[in-house]
Chain A
Amino acid sequence: MGAAGRMVLVLASLLVLLTYLSLRGATPDTVLNEGRLAALDALILNDAGLQRDLLKARAGLLRDYDPLVSDVEGLREASTSLETGRGVGAVAGSHLERLAAEVNEQEVLVDEFKSNNALLQNSLAYFAHVSCRLARLASAQDSTTGEAVGELANGMLRFLAAPSDGEAAASVSRSLGGLARRPVSPTMREDTRALVAHGRLILKTLPVVDNVLARLLATRITERAGVIQDLVADDYRRAESRARIFRVLLYLAAVLLVLYLGRLYLRLRASARALAEKAALEARLQRRAGTGGTPHQLAAI
């Protein structure tokens, strides 16, 4: 390989080295990182909002389910934007997969909760409405039925306060059975039948609602999002540190190149001087040769 070939090889190697250092020294994608952290914040906020709205809905304080729909949409959007984001570390990636699965599960459970809670709230409203009307009718027509309705209403109150209390549930069940078997006047028959039907539905649905709610509240979305936030932040810090090292190496390479260029400059200048001196000497020699100096004189130059 000639000198020119070696030079091309050296230059190509230098180009590759500098490009590599430059790429590795670039700052990690700040926009991507901030987008990812914002999506995780949105997940945590929507999860907190969802839990608040679920509890309000269970307590009958949420007038409609639009906020739940909005919370779930927020979770879904944040989860989707995290899924479509470019590569995260393997550990964060596996957490992201589990997070997406949990969001899917929450969505299904929220639908289940809304359906059952709507039935529950409907039956609670109807139970209160019909028991009041029956109590009014019974006070004028049939005091024993009135007492049975009162006993049922009291039992239902105890059950609502402690749905997991088996004795309260059994007491309501007995009262409902007694009322269903009781012969009542035709004017009260339809209301009694409706009261029993809605009472049974409350008895059946309330534990289901509470079970679904417990599963919804046991979600680990916020916890997992926090873990991913830490991992993403760690990843970013590590990438930033790595980039800083490569930037220092890039700087060192630049300094070495400057030194090398300086050395080349000095060598070039020295060569130029030598060439100039040589040219001047040759010029003097030619002049002397022209004027006919003796060999001794020429040798003395």
Chain B
Amino acid sequence: MLLHPQLMNTSWQELIAKLRSHPPYAAAFSRIYRSEPRRADVLDALGAFERSLVTPDARFDRYLRGQHEAITPDEERGYELFKTYGCTACHQGVNVGGNLFQRFGIFHDPFDDPPLSVADLGRFAITRRPSDRHVFRVPSLRNAAVTAPYFHDGRARTLTEAVQEMARSQLGRPLTDEHIDLIIKFLRTLTGEYNGKPLSDQAEGKPQREARRRR
């Protein structure tokens, strides 16, 4: 994944150098591994992070397994709207996304307010193919309710802002507040468990503060 030319297209030399030159990472590695970033420690940290991404048993998973009472009628209606509006064209599969690339801004250009950052360029920053400009990996929506802020630069602080932006940029029309609310109710059913405990919505506060700082 890290070294694959189609994906992150980096090398260990470049990666280690970047981590060592980034004070917060260097400090974190020093605190946890008692050394500056090294290949084995980076792999260990990535492994620990990836294991934390396994958050099974979301209420929507239970609903798909046949427990219809696992989600409320409003959440079920939100799921219907999610499919009706075509969100499932990109957000699908076991992770409700994460398995394809898509241009951000099909019907409306979300980058019409320059200057652009390197991150705004999307895959183009790696592949240099003009067709990859503003193309990003479609994110998984699992735990979306507790992983604010949203998009590559954290521009949307809440799920409401994120759904509004998606409707404008990808669907080509604004959604009613009622429909946004129902879709968000559905998205909250995708929050799973970690170490046997449901992930908490309280986690939303911290990234939001981070997003505000970045802005």
Contacts and interface: CB of A to CB of B under 8 A. Distances in A.
A114 interface: yes
Interface residues of B, number: 25
Interface in A185-212: 190-191, 193-194, 197-198, 201
B101 A107 contact: no
A68 B6 CA distance: 16
A63 B135 CA distance: 22
B105 to A, nearest CB: 12
B80 to A, nearest CB: 11
B99 A66 contact: yes
A118 B100 CA distance: 9
How extensive is the interface on chain A, given as a class?
20 to 34
B102 A115 contact: yes
A122 B107 CA distance: 13
Contacts of A66: 93-94, 99
Interface string B134-155: 0100100000000000000000
A69 B99 contact: yes
A73 to B, nearest CB: 11
Given A65-B92, A201-B106, A115 B135 contact: yes
B86 interface: yes
Contacts of B102: 115, 118-119
26 contacts: A64-B92, A64-B93, A64-B94, A65-B92, A65-B99, A107-B6, A108-B6, A111-B6, A114-B99, A114-B100, A115-B102, A115-B135, A118-B100, A119-B89, A119-B106, A121-B86, A122-B171, A125-B83, A125-B84, A126-B85, A190-B173, A194-B171, A194-B172, A194-B173, A198-B172, A201-B106
Interface of B: 6, 83-87, 89-90, 92-94, 99-103, 106-107, 135, 138, 170-174
The 5 closest A-B pairs by CB, nearest first: A122-B89, A122-B86, A64-B93, A64-B92, A114-B100
